[in-house]
Structure 1
Amino acid sequence: MQRPFSAGTQTVPPGGFVRLHAHAESEEVLHFIRGKGKAVVEGRDYPIEPGMTVFLGPQQSHTLINDGTEDLHWAWFFLPSGLETFFKAIGRQRSPGDDAPDAFERPENVSAIEASTGFSPVTPKRLG
């Protein structure tokens, strides 16, 4: 690859979601491993289940919703890299095998963190 990319995994519990957002200049690929839910991309609903892959281009608004009964788990690939910087800045340190941290508030400077890691402001069209 000509540019650096980042990769990781993410898990959202039943009833949880990744809030509506977009990335200014980045491309994102999500590959779903476990659970069921829906992706809302540019206001349109797409069911997601294990084995499905979603490509998100720059400026495409999206949210991921776990409306299933088990954890929704996926692998993500982000080009160019940078998403890992966002998670480091807002999250809690974990090692493989650690329990998920208790719920916590986003930092007060989350907008500045988002701006510095390639997120774009989004006006919701429809959340599904």
Structure 2
Amino acid sequence: MHSKDVNGAFTIIEVDVPPFSGPPLHYHEDREEIFEVLEGRFRFHCAGEEFEVGPGTSVVVPRNTVHGWVNLGPGRARLLGTFVPGGIDEFFPQIGQTPPTGWIDLARQHDTWIVGAPLSVK
């Protein structure tokens, strides 16, 4: 759901995650995130702790908390992400069209502060 539809209160996105991939470690100064695992198995890093979760699990990430996740399986996996407040909608299509060398600058424009590499599958 686009945040403009709810007066900026929140943004909801569904993420189709390729095998063995995920975002770099990062945090948001102005918003919380709530992840719901829809399909697959993930390793999350949140506030210095790592843990594995599967379908039906929710992970709440407070603002200013370094976090990241990785799809642990050989197949695609899906997450539902809710951002409170919203306003981060345009970041996701833009990052998919931006080479990795431009991610830090683009992320900063959307309250996303990259602080580390993506998690490994281990």
The structure 2 residue matched to 1:105, chosen from 66, 77, 99, is 99
1:119 aligns with 2:97: no
Is the CA contact 2:42–2:53 (under 8 Å) kept in the aligned structure 1?
yes
Q: Structure 2: which amino acid aligns with 1:84? A: D
In structure 1, distance between residues paired with 2:55 and 2:35 = 11
The structure 2 residue matched to 1:83, chosen from 85, 88, 99, is 88
The structure 1 residue matched to 2:47, chosen from 35, 42, 45, is 42
Is the CA contact 2:35–2:82 (under 8 Å) kept in the aligned structure 1?
yes
Structure 2 residues without counterparts, runs of 5 or longer:
1-5
In structure 2, distance between residues paired with 1:26 and 1:41 = 15
In structure 2, distance between residues paired with 1:67 and 1:89 = 25
Match of 2:35 in 1: 30
Structure 1 residues without counterparts, runs of 5 or longer:
93-103
Instruction: Using the aligned pairs only, state the percent identity.
Output: 22
Is the CA contact 1:14–1:70 (under 8 Å) kept in the aligned structure 2?
yes
Q: How many pairs does the alignment contain?
A: 115
Deviations 1:68-102 (A, max 9, x none): 2322211111011133221132225xxxxxxxxxx
Scaled by the length of structure 1, the TM-score of the pair is 0.76
Q: In structure 2, do the counterparts of structure 1 residues 112 and 105 end up closer, same or farther at CA, with 3 Å as the change threshold?
A: closer
Residue 20 of structure 1 and its aligned partner are, at CA, apart by 0.8
Over alpha carbons, which structure has the higher Rg?
1
4+ residue runs of structure 1 moved beyond 4 angstroms?
Answer: none
RMSD after superposition? 2.5
